[in-house]
Copies of this chain bind each other. A is one copy, B any other.
Amino acid sequence: MTLRDRPIGVFDSGVGGLTVLRELRRQLPGEHTIYLGDEARMPYGPRPADEVVGFTREAVRWFTGQECKLVILACNTATAVALEIVRESALVPVIGVVRPGAAAALSASATRAVGVLATEGTVRSASYGRALRDLDPLVRVREVACPALVPLVEAGEMRSAAALTAVRGYVGPLIGDASDAVDTLLLGCTHYPLLREVIERVAGPGVRVVDSATTTALAVREVLASHRLLREGAGDSRHRVFATGPRERFRSVARTIFGEDLPEVEEAILG
């Protein structure tokens, strides 16, 4: 297998990273992909940092065994606490979703006031605030931990009354006429694009809801092009999806993202 023909690895703690995989497949249709959801140990959000670092290391090692040419940490929690650490020892480029998300949000904001919805772990790491202020020292950032959202998505309850109530509770205080209201909401967890409809409804037309998928795919494309590893063309690309732990639930939630286009879910063992 030539280097160029090797797959791109996409990692998440669960199904959320499939939103990144979907954009990646759309934007780089020539690339083979391998997705790994660490369903057995999700969610990562509430876990201590050193545990997330350990799991992410295991995942990157697993992707190396699959001969991936590049790995995407399509998980904000893993990016926030483990990206710089795994990059040091990784044999291939590793791309996270925090900086791409921050760049997307700051590009979209007119008032330079950005709200970040994320897991507890991501909020605790303060990595979005840091990434956004790296881009613009004067940006105002309000990070909100949304612990109810990942379980709702993983339970497939994206359109439930419970989802609406939870989103109202998290988003309500960020919007409106107050002087500290934001004009852009960054979905700082790859599960949240599956709640985009309800988040946009609650946020209203004056607020843009931004995720990291498009700019992450941009970063992947530019990095691969710079290494002359971009696989152009389309039509013959292969896609595999692996999960640790209970594959039945993974499959049913994943199908709401990919529809019938989801490959058979294979079993992976980490650790």
Contacts and interface: CB of A to CB of B under 8 A. Distances in A.
A49 interface: no
Indicate how many identical chains form the complex.
Answer: 2
A6 interface: no
A214 B107 contact: yes
A239 interface: no
Contacts of A215: 103-104, 107, 215, 218
Contacts of A195: none
B208 A108 contact: yes
Contacts of A134: 27
Contacts of A12: none
Interface residues of A, number: 37
A106 B93 CA distance: 25
Contacts of A105: 107
Contact of A218 (B103, B109, B110): B103
A209 B106 CA distance: 11
Interface in A89-106: 93, 95, 99-100, 103-106
Contacts of A208: 108-110, 208
Contacts of A26: 135-137
A117 to B, nearest CB: 15
A259 interface: no
Given A27-B135, A103-B215, A218-B218, 16 more contacts: A26-B135, A100-B218, A103-B104, A104-B215, A106-B214, A107-B108, A107-B211, A107-B214, A108-B210, A110-B205, A110-B208, A222-B223, A223-B223, A223-B226, A226-B226, A227-B227
| Shortest Cβ-Cβ A-B pairs, 8 listed | A108-B108, A104-B107, A93-B226, A103-B218, A219-B222, A223-B226, A103-B214, A107-B214
30 contacts: A26-B135, A26-B136, A27-B134, A27-B135, A95-B222, A95-B226, A99-B218, A100-B218, A103-B214, A103-B218, A104-B104, A104-B107, A104-B108, A105-B107, A106-B214, A107-B107, A107-B211, A107-B214, A107-B215, A108-B108, A108-B208, A110-B205, A110-B209, A135-B214, A206-B206, A208-B208, A219-B222, A222-B223, A226-B227, A227-B227
Interface of A: 26-27, 87, 93, 95, 99-100, 103-110, 134-137, 200, 205-206, 208-211, 214-215, 217-219, 221-223, 225-227
